Structure 1
Amino acid sequence: MAYDDVRTANADLKETHDLIASDKVEGTKVYDLHGEHIGSIERILVEKRGGKVSYAVLSFGGFLGIGNDHYPLPWSKLNYDEDLGGYRVDITKEQLDGAPRYESEDEAFWTAENGRRVYDYYGVVPYWI
């Protein structure tokens, strides 16, 4: 099989044992440690130069996507749970209520200072250190 044939055959690949396509991650449910649904992944943010997944943006609240709150979580906080078919995090909905959040069009949120604030809130060493 030629390279182009292999590339075409794998273009629709969504998941392997260890890998998952970004468009399949988006919309995946997020649960607390007790298995309670606390939100869904709206998008993932990838570092431009290093290619590291830095954040999962969690959304919850609202109705039909309107009025959702957006919470950036350090990617390292999420652990995939095959039984749930989603990610578990060691935070509660109440803790999430006090977490740093942003409006969906607020590009000004994404500063180094706010990045550190997000990582500090969740008790995670920033990936850039």
Structure 2
Amino acid sequence: MSVTANAIAQGAPQSVTERRVDVVQTGQGFRASKLAGATVYNRDKERIGTIDDLILSPADRNAFAILSVGGFLGMGKHYVAVPFSSLQISDKQVLMPDATKQSIEALPEFKYATD
């Protein structure tokens, strides 16, 4: 259900649309703050990376998980972006069932914008 209201912003009339959210359904979701730092495994229970961040695309609002992959003791690691929809979360464990360390490390490196 949507509710439209009129408001004034910077001296000009604005139309604001509010949507009601099903709090029960939303409450069953995943908090980004709890996913950051989570280890990602494949179906063979091999560790393939760690969630460093979650990013929402402004254009189409798709979510991407930024994984820290590769390296040893923090040396040589890099970041890759994978669609959040490719992750499965169950029993507080994050899975990318068909991924391997090699397939994830072969993805193009993701670099954070510096601005």
Instruction: Judge same fold: TM > 0.5, yes or no.
Output: yes
Tell me whether 1:80 sits opposite 2:89 in the alignment.
yes
Gaps of 5+ in 2: 1-25
CA distance in 2, matches of 1:98, 1:88: 18
Change (3 A) 1:17 1:35: farther
> CA 1:29–1:63 in structure 2 vs 1: closer, same or farther (change >3 Å)?
same
Q: Does the 8 Å CA contact 1:42/1:58 hold for their aligned counterparts?
A: yes
2:47 match = 37
Matched residue SS, 2:71: coil
Q: Percent identity?
A: 28
Deviates more, 1:17-26 or 1:67-76: 17-26
Runs of at least 5 residues in structure 1 that lack an aligned partner in the other structure:
1-15, 109-129
* Moved >6 Å (runs of 4+): none
Alignment TM-score, normalising by the size of structure 2: 0.63
Partner-residue secondary structure (3-state), 2:45:
coil
Q: Which has the higher Rg, Structure 1 or Structure 2?
A: 2
Partner of 2:23: none
Matched, 1:54 2:63: yes
Partner-residue secondary structure (3-state), 1:72: strand
TM-score normalised by L of structure 1 = 0.57
Residue 18 of structure 2 corresponds to none
Q: Which residue does 1:94 correspond to in 2?
A: 102
Q: Which has the higher helix share?
A: 1
Q: How far apart, CA to CA, are the structure 2 residues paired with 1:60 and 1:97?
A: 6
- Taking only aligned residues, the RMSD between alpha carbons, in angstroms, comes to 2.5
The alpha carbon displacement at 1:49 in A equals 6.2
Structure 1 residues 24 and 65, CA gap change in structure 2 (3 angstroms): farther
Shift of 1:68: 2.0
- For 1:73, the aligned partner's letter is V
SS in 2 for 1:24: helix
Bigger share in strand: 2
